[in-house]
Every structure is written in structure tokens, then in C-alpha cells.
């Protein structure tokens, strides 16, 4: 019974996160401005890290944690570089 509850809420959480990622992708596609796209991309990265953690719970494997860590790291670097680019038109001054 309790395993049922857990597997259903894991499934629901995955659906919600997938929908959220859909929203973020929509904002990346529509814009309207470059900063909106970068913001949506940053959100997408965080949601992806969350989804990987939920996958970890689903499969009972710790490997997904490392993937989530790497995604979070990449998201930060990418967003910082893109913001810098929006500001000055180049990444390294």
C-alpha cells in the first residue's frame, strides 16, 4: 500500500516536472527578448536537476545524484556566461 502511494507520487512529480519543463521550453522558444530566453533556460536546468533526483528515487540508484550535481553546475556556468554576453556582447572582457 505505502509502496503504491510512493510510486504514484513519484509518477505525479515526474509529470509535473515534465510539464514545468514544457513551460520553460515554451518561454525559451517564444522569448520575446534574449533575457527571457536565458531566464527560461536557467529554470529548465534547475527543473532538469529536480527531475533527475526524482528519477534517483524511482530507481533507487545514487548515480542520478551525480548527474543532477553536474546539471546544476552546468546551468550556473551557462547562465552566468550568457548574462555576461547579454550585458557586454562578449563573455570574457
Residues in the chain: 93
Q: Give the x/- contact pattern for other proteins in 2-21, rule: CB under 8 A.
A: xx-xxxxxx-xxx-xx-xxx
CB of 53 to other proteins, least distance (A): 5
The burial class, CB within 10 Å (0-12 / 13-18 / 19+), for 33 is exposed
Q: How many CB atoms neighbour CB 13 within 10 A?
A: 16
Contacts to other proteins from residues 53-92, by CB under 8 A:
53-54, 56-60, 62, 65, 68-69, 72-73, 76, 79-80, 83-84, 86-87
Cell numbers for 56: 534517483
**Cα–Cα distance measured from residue 42 to residue 79, given in angstroms and rounded to the nearest whole number:** 6
Cell numbers for 86: 547579454
Q: Which residues bind other proteins (CB under 8 A)?
A: 1-3, 5-10, 12-14, 16-17, 19-24, 26-27, 33-36, 38-40, 42-43, 46-47, 49-50, 53-54, 56-60, 62, 65, 68-69, 72-73, 76, 79-80, 83-84, 86-87
Amino acid at each position: 500500500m505505502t509502496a503504491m502511494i510512493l510510486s504514484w507520487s513519484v509518477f505525479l512529480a515526474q509529470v509535473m516536472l515534465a510539464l514545468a519543463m514544457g513551460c520553460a521550453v515554451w518561454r525559451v522558444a517564444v522569448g520575446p527578448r534574449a533575457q527571457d530566453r536565458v531566464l527560461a533556460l536557467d529554470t529548465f536546468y534547475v527543473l532538469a536537476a529536480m527531475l533527475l533526483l526524482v528519477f534517483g528515487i524511482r530507481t533507487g540508484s545514487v548515480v542520478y545524484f551525480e548527474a543532477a550535481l553536474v546539471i546544476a553546475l552546468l546551468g550556473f556556468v551557462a547562465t552566468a556566461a550568457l548574462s555576461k554576453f547579454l550585458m557586454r556582447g562578449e563573455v570574457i572582457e
